[in-house]
Amino acid sequence: MVFLGIDCGTQSLKVIAWEAGTGRFVSASRAYDLISNLPPGHKEQDPQVWIDALEQCMAELAQKTNLISGVEAIGISGQQHGLVVLDDHDQVIRPAKLWNDTSTDRQCTRIVEAFGGLDAYRAEIGNSLPPGFTASKLLWIKENEPANYQKIAAFFLPHDYLNFYLTGEKVAEAGDASGTGYFDVRNRRWSSGVLTAIDPDRDLAQALPNLISSATPAGQLRSELAQRWGVPQRAIASSGGGDNMMGAIGTGNVSTGLMTVSLGTSGTIYSYSDTAVIDPGGEIAAFCDSTGGWLPLGCTMNVTVATEMIRKSLLNVDHQAFSEAVDSIPPGAEGLILLPYLEGERMPPVSQGTGVLLGLRPSTSTPAHLARAAMEGVTLGLEYGLDRLQKLGMTPKEIRLIGGGAKSPVWRQMAADIFNVSVVSPVNEEGPAFGAAIQAMWAHTGEDIQRLAAEHVKLDESTRCAPKPNSVERYRQVSAVYNELADTLIGSPVFGEHRKLIES
Across the range 457-470, mean pLDDT stands at 97
| 303 plus 422 within the same structural domain | yes
List Cα–Cα distances, 39 to 9, 44, 497, 503, in angstroms.
22, 11, 17, 9
- Residue 245 located in a structural domain: no
| 208 plus 266 within the same structural domain | no
CA distance 111 to 108: 5
| 16 plus 147 within the same structural domain | yes
- Residue 434 located in a structural domain: no
What kind and span of H or E run contains 397?
none
pLDDT band at 61 (very low <50, low <70, confident <90, very high): very high
- Residue 440 located in a structural domain: no
- Residue 384 located in a structural domain: yes
Cis check for the bond before 367: say yes or no (omega within 30 of 0): no
Burial class (CB in 10 A: 0-12, 13-18, 19+), 22: exposed
Across the range 42-59, mean pLDDT stands at 98
Mean pLDDT, the chain, whole residue set? 95
- 144 and 137 Cβ atoms separated by less than 8 Å: no
CA distance 43 to 36: 9
| 142 plus 283 within the same structural domain | no
Last-in-domain residue among 239, 267, 286: 239
| 227 plus 286 within the same structural domain | no
Rg (CA), the chain: 22
pLDDT of residue 41: 87
Across the range 95-105, mean pLDDT stands at 93
Boundaries of domain holding 281: 252-428+445-504
Listed in order, strand segments (DSSP E) in 194-336 are: 210-211, 219-220, 236-237, 241-242, 258-263, 267-270, 285-288, 294-300
Last-in-domain residue among 239, 270, 300: 239
Please state the separation of Cα 367 from the chain's center in Å. 29
Burial class (CB in 10 A: 0-12, 13-18, 19+), 503: exposed
What CATH code is carried by the domain that includes residue 470? 3.30.420.40
- 16 and 437 Cβ atoms separated by less than 8 Å: yes
Across the range 456-478, mean pLDDT stands at 97
What kind and span of H or E run contains 51?
helix 47-64
pLDDT of residue 448: 95
pLDDT of residue 282: 87
Which string of b and e fits 387-396 if b means at least 16 CB within 10 Å? ebbeebebeb
pLDDT of residue 265: 86
| 283 plus 138 within the same structural domain | no
- 286 and 185 Cβ atoms separated by less than 8 Å: yes
- Residue 439 located in a structural domain: no
Q: Is the pLDDT of residue 9 over 80?
A: yes
- Residue 244 located in a structural domain: no
pLDDT of residue 102: 86
- Residue 438 located in a structural domain: no
Q: Is the pLDDT of residue 271 over 80?
A: yes
| 338 plus 209 within the same structural domain | no
Nearest to 337 by CA among 377, 378, 392, 380: 377
What is the 3-class SS of 404-437, one letter each residue? HHHHCHHHHHHHHHHHCCCEEEECCCCHHHHHHH
Last-in-domain residue among 211, 239, 267: 239
Nearest to 153 by CA among 98, 196, 91, 95: 91
DSSP string for residues in 232-267: -TT-EE---EEHHHHHHHHTT--STTEEEEEESSSE
| 233 plus 271 within the same structural domain | no
Exactly one of 243, 279, 289, 417 is catalytic; which is it?
243
pLDDT band at 97 (very low <50, low <70, confident <90, very high): very high
Q: What is the pLDDT of residues 332-376, one digit of tens each?
A: 999 999 999 997 888 988 888 899 999 999 999 999 999 999 999
- 82 and 98 Cβ atoms separated by less than 8 Å: yes
Across the range 120-125, mean pLDDT stands at 96
| 259 plus 391 within the same structural domain | yes
Contacts of 124 (CB under 8 A, 6+ apart): 115, 184, 191, 193, 194
Across the range 295-303, mean pLDDT stands at 94
Sign of CA dihedral 122, 250, 272, 209: positive
pLDDT of residue 499: 78
| 123 plus 203 within the same structural domain | yes
| 420 plus 451 within the same structural domain | yes
Residues of the chain with pLDDT > 70, as a percent, come to 100
Across the range 379-403, mean pLDDT stands at 95
Report the number of distinct structural domains present in the chain: 2
CA distance 417 to 433: 28
| 221 plus 298 within the same structural domain | no
Instruction: Tell me which DSSP letter residue 467 carries.
Output: P
Is residue 289 part of the annotated active site? The answer reads no
pLDDT of residue 422: 97
- Residue 178 located in a structural domain: yes
In this structure, which amino acid lies at residue 82?
Answer: G
